[in-house]
Amino acid sequence: MTQFDKDYKHGKESEIKSLPDLQDVFGKDLILDDEMFAHFDYFKDDYMCELKTRDDIKFIDGEFHYTTRKGYKMILDSIYFDAVKMRFAFQYNKKMGMYKV
């Protein structure tokens, strides 16, 4: 199994496991998108949610601590959000007359 396949499988398992918790926050009508290449993992009328599961990144005392696959440790300045997803969200909000991202 390739690293991509392992990461993808782990991400999908995390999405399923996290759904009940996210529904507690966003409402029971939040739906897990089953489309393999969906822009966002979850959606409902006016929400789109993207879940990122990274076992190698820990948020400790306001910092993102990262350990590479080779065991190197570092502190990240930030965690970026995919530009394609941001563009999709902005266009969706513009079309729908909303300004939440």
- The predicted-structure confidence for 9-60, as pLDDT tens digits, reads as follows 988 999 999 999 999 988 999 999 988 888 889 988 878 888 887 888 888 8
Task: Pick the closest to residue 47 from 67, 22, 65 (CA basis).
Answer: 22
Helix (H, G, I), strand (E, B) or coil at 33: coil
pLDDT band at 73 (very low <50, low <70, confident <90, very high): very high
Residue 97: pLDDT band (50, 70, 90) is: low
The answer for residues whose C-beta is within 8 angstroms of residue 49's C-beta and 6 or more apart is 22, 26, 30, 40, 41, 42, 43
